[in-house]
Chain A
């Protein structure tokens, strides 16, 4: 007779007869996967938002020319722009237009306020390279030399608390994912132990017939993998539904800050890979649990 692979053939499916959805494990895994996907999406979205903020305004400075005399203000503004443009490491320096300034102050002073009525500072936005941004004092000196009434604001200063919050939330989401992975592993350990107890007599018979620990472990691995696959897919679908709903609401809000937390393409790939990782984790944990338990038998 020809010897095949190390399995139980067609009877293997029937050796552990409980249906795939007979126990609570698939549903517990579904809940875990749902929360894991949401936490991961939260973390990936925040990471994307942080990166977007950093790329857009993280190395930007705003120069204000606070001068009551309009002619002097205009002269110093031009000198400041010229000074900035001469500096190596300044990516761009542009004067904020009068229209944009009027739009900025409109919520406080209303429309139709003439420059002559209220002396509004001239403003210049400049994007710096990270290297120059690290030496912002030299930029301030150069601007001050050209425009004595200039005041340099580093956007990173007011972004810092927000960046810290985003960073903390990102770590929180990572911690949540790790906790979910741990809880899922613990669930699988409990399920594997329960399955071992349920099928102890069958295992003993197989053992005494010369079945190896790996052969027996594979029976459980297969069953637990099917349960985990079902639970993972249910959790994933539910989580994707929630994410799409949240995405729609955010778009309706039209918030630039919230909108910057969009999930990039690679984040969706990571989220889709989570069920696969969940099944692999369940199989690995089940295998180790079963092998450890079987090692106590002779």
Chain B
């Protein structure tokens, strides 16, 4: 695969918090546009840190990251919001806005993008239906179960049809049936062209998506047990 088909490219990326040792070291890989990736590894391997780099919550300490074909390491800060709007994120701790209803939480990315109120109702209602929460539209997060909150978080992440979906343990708080439904939801989104990266401990999920590839992190470095990292990035200017 050449870099033209990549949505994400990492080259010798390292991440260090403060003055400690590197949390992520020498990461070099690329993610194909439209691909479906599972990111696995033991606790503390650096999965969440890698996802933070992907959804632009963090800049690397070293190395090159290209996202949507642009170098985001040196990108001016004012350009980042435009890139973030192309990324959907499912946080491990959901991060729902506690004072907003399920409807308003899901609508938030559209409102951030400036979609007018009259254009919100249909897509948000459809999304609530899709995650099985049509009857909890006006419920606030505190009144929702963990699984329901997770589904709201997922609906919020995908409502704006992101080009890249990053999910951190999205099935961690739901029962197996719901986990499977959510996975099908990601799969459907992926078939529509969204690149999906799912960090999970549950290696059984990997078998549920035929086209999925696996990235395995261990102590901040990538191993390649499935051959998913067979496409090292090339320099664009080469």
A21–B119 alpha-carbon span in the complex (Å): 33
B80 within 8 A of partner (CB): yes
How many A-B residue contacts, CB cutoff 8 Å? 84
Binds B, one of A9-17, A106-114, A270-278: A9-17
Q: B114 and A11: CB pair below 8 A?
A: no
Most chain-B Cβ atoms within 10 A of its Cβ — which of A1, A207, A212, A295?
Answer: A1
Q: A9 and B58: CB pair below 8 A?
A: no
Q: A298 and B59: CB pair below 8 A?
A: yes
Q: B104 and A1: CB pair below 8 A?
A: no
Residues 81-93 of chain B, each 1 if its beta carbon lies under 8 Å from chain A, else 0: 1111111010000
A209–B109 alpha-carbon span in the complex (Å): 6
A295–B78 alpha-carbon span in the complex (Å): 9
- Shortest Cβ distance from B54 into chain A, in angstroms? 11
- Shortest Cβ distance from A181 into chain B, in angstroms? 31
Most chain-A Cβ atoms within 10 A of its Cβ — which of B59, B80, B97, B110?
Answer: B97
Could you tell me which residues of chain B, from 108 to 137, have a CB within 8 Å of some CB in chain A?
Answer: 108-117, 119-120, 123
Could you tell me which residues of chain A, from 203 to 250, have a CB within 8 Å of some CB in chain B?
Answer: 204-212, 215
Residues 1-27 of chain A, each 1 if its beta carbon lies under 8 Å from chain B, else 0: 111111111111011010000000000
- Shortest Cβ distance from A211 into chain B, in angstroms? 5
| Residues of chain A within 8 A of B97, CB atoms compared | 15, 202, 205
A255 within 8 A of partner (CB): no
A201 within 8 A of partner (CB): yes
| Residues of chain B within 8 A of A208, CB atoms compared | 55-57, 84, 89
- Contacts A15-B97, A206-B108 given; indicate if A9 touches B84 (C-beta within 8 A): no
Q: A212 — nearest CB in chain B belongs to which residue?
A: B81
Q: A298 and B56: CB pair below 8 A?
A: yes
- Total interface residues on B, using CB and 8 Å? 35
Q: A14 and B58: CB pair below 8 A?
A: no
- Shortest Cβ distance from B110 into chain A, in angstroms? 7
| Residues of chain A within 8 A of B191, CB atoms compared | none
A2–B119 alpha-carbon span in the complex (Å): 7
Residues 69-110 of chain B, each 1 if its beta carbon lies under 8 Å from chain A, else 0: 000000001101111111101000001010110001001111
| Contact partner, A209, options B58, B112, B120, B123, Cβ 8 Å | B112
| Residues of chain A within 8 A of B112, CB atoms compared | 8, 206, 209-211, 215
| Residues of chain B within 8 A of A202, CB atoms compared | 97
| Contact partner, A2, options B77, B83, B87, B116, Cβ 8 Å | B116
Q: A210 and B81: CB pair below 8 A?
A: yes
A97–B78 alpha-carbon span in the complex (Å): 81
Q: A4-B114, A208-B56, A209-B112 are in contact. List 18 more A-B contacts (CB 8 A).
A: A1-B115, A3-B113, A4-B115, A4-B116, A4-B117, A7-B111, A201-B95, A204-B95, A206-B108, A208-B57, A208-B84, A209-B85, A209-B89, A210-B81, A210-B83, A211-B112, A212-B78, A298-B56
Chain B contacts to A: CB under 8 angstroms:
55-59, 77-78, 80-87, 89, 95, 97, 99-100, 104, 107-117, 119-120, 123
The 4 closest A-B pairs by CB, nearest first: A210-B85, A210-B84, A4-B116, A17-B99
Q: List 19 A-B contacts (CB under 8 A).
A: A1-B123, A3-B113, A3-B115, A8-B108, A8-B112, A9-B117, A11-B104, A14-B104, A15-B100, A205-B108, A210-B87, A210-B109, A210-B113, A212-B81, A215-B112, A295-B77, A298-B56, A298-B57, A298-B80
